[in-house]
Amino acid sequence: MSNATDSEVVVITGASAGAGRVTARAFAERGAKIGLLARGEDGLRGACEDVERAGGEAIVVPTDVADPEQVETAAETVEDAFGPIDVWVNDAMASVFSPAAEMTAEDYRRVTEVTYLGYVYGTQAALNRMRPRNEGTIVQVGSALAYRGIPLQSAYCGAKHAIQGYTESVRTELLHEDCDIQLSMVQMPAMNTPQFEWSKSRLPQKPQPVPPIYQPEVAARAIMWTVDHGKDELWVGRSTVKAILGNRLIPRRLDNYLASGGYDSQLTDEPVAPDRKHNLYEPVAGDFGAHGPFDDQAHDYSYQLQASMHRRLLALLVGLLATIVTVVLGQRIFSD
């Protein structure tokens, strides 16, 4: 039996760490009831504690999003506990840092199943429940890499490109149906999340996000704003804007630029430990929290994001400034 209330009911995949975990905390701060989906139970318990401390309510649902039956069961579990799902955020991901020539078929398959098909299964599970009510919001946590591929992450870039195409396709179908469900995609910059501690890697040094690096709280603010404002797509961070626009205008130059600098920008100076564990096929034990190891390099704020979220106010201020300048210049002209 449902226990529906006026509180938002939210599902977040990849909720045990990184942007998903911080987003769960942000929803909790406004009293939401949240289904936390991920494989790592230690991280899920930590996320549940975060939610409860922030004033929300959570249910932990260990889920491998690569399995559609598990995703469907998770959706049922959340609705049985909290009532109809209002918001579904797809954020679960897996990656492999490796030259394409050294990748295996199994690794490509697993990254695709988690990072692309996990979004498909989550979206389908959400739509199955939102369509009868003709309401709800689905947010795909994307990346600048949904538009611009970079070296050493061919599986991840391919999956993000696929999400972009899938989302556009489904959105057009919803429009054709005159459906009021909002399907959005938020394109993120490099984030300081624990994925760089546990992603599978064949590189000689520890991987890192390509600078500039942002804290996951920036991602959470973007996701929350997108949910509240119903925007189809939001670009986050100046680097994301540059990557997407650059790929449209000068793709060949970007190819050459990334060929020369795209390797070193993803490597730290630290060698990889011989016993380093990865989470591609099984979660790594322990609660890794929301942040990765790059706090000293990461930005807490994005001026570009703030400008995007306040475009009307910015346009008003620019118009006001232009009016003031025009008046002042006019006064000078007539006084001379």
The catalytic site residues sit at 156
Q: Token digits for 263?
A: 């390797």
Question: Which DSSP string do the residues of 161-196 spell out, in sequence order?
Answer: HHHHHHHHHHHHHHHHTT---EEEEEEE-EE--THH
> How long is the chain?
336
Q: How far apart are CA 233 and CA 227, in angstroms?
A: 11
Q: How far apart are CA 162 and CA 171, in angstroms?
A: 14
Yes or no: say if 193 and 19 are a contact pair by the CB < 8 Å rule: yes
Q: In sequence order, what E strands does 102-227 have?
A: 137-143, 182-188, 190-191, 200-201, 205-207, 213-214
Per DSSP, the chain holds a count of helices (H) and strands (E) of: 12, 14
Antiparallel, parallel or unpaired: β 33-38 and 9-13 = parallel
Contacts of 235 by beta carbon, 8 Å cutoff, 6+ apart: 144, 187, 241, 244, 304, 308
Yes or no: say if 44 and 50 are a contact pair by the CB < 8 Å rule: no
Question: Which residues sit opposite 291 in a β-bridge?
Answer: none
269 backbone dihedrals φ, ψ, rounded to 5°: -90, -5
Half-sphere exposure of 81 (CA within 13 A, CB side): 20
3-state helix, strand, coil in the chain (%, to 5): 50, 15, 30
